[in-house]
Amino acid sequence: MPDENNPIEGAPSAKSNLESAKAHAQEVVGAAKTHLKEAIDQSKEHLKQAAGDLRAAAQAKTHELREAAEAKAREFRSTAESKAEELRGRAEQFRGEATTRVRTIEEDAEAYIRGNPLKAVLCAIGAGFLLGLIFRR
């Protein structure tokens, strides 16, 4: 009498085929998981390397920009210092010229007053009177 699980004698039963297929599927799933895990690990490593490369490139660029900014700042400082020195020299020159002019005017005024004392006193009184009128109002 034939077996219910094995209608054909000598042929594997459906149950054993199902178990074999299930075991094979589990092996395939396990292998797929392993390959997927390896791919993920490799991707993580590649991403870490790329991030490290980007970080290094950013640091190099930052260093390069800092050096360029410092060089430009030194250039500006040098230009400003030379311009300040030039302006200081011109200011001292103008001060010297103004001092000379004031001394000349002072000497001329003193010479005029010594040569014309009466006129000088009358001019001073007139100027004082006019200033008094102006400030009174």
- The confidence score (pLDDT) of residue 8 equals 53
Residue 91 predicted with pLDDT over 90: yes
Q: What is the pLDDT of residue 32?
A: 92
10 φψ region: left (φ > 0), alpha (ψ -120 to 50), beta (else): left
Q: Which of 15-19, 43-47, 130-134 has the lowest mean pLDDT?
A: 15-19
pLDDT in tens, 37-85: 999 999 999 999 999 999 999 999 999 999 999 999 999 999 999 999 9
Predicted confidence (pLDDT) per residue in 117-127, tens digit: 998 899 999 99
Whether the per-residue pLDDT at 1 is higher than 50: the answer is no
Q: Residue 132: pLDDT above 80?
A: yes
Length of the chain, please? Answer: 137
Question: How far does Cα 29 stand from its chain's mean position?
Answer: 54
Looking at residue 5, what is its pLDDT?
A: 52
Could you tell me if 129 and 121 are in contact, meaning their C-beta atoms sit under 8 angstroms apart?
no
Looking at residue 135, its pLDDT comes to 92
CB 106 within 8 A of CB 99: no
* Residue pLDDT, tens place only, 40-49: 999 999 999 9
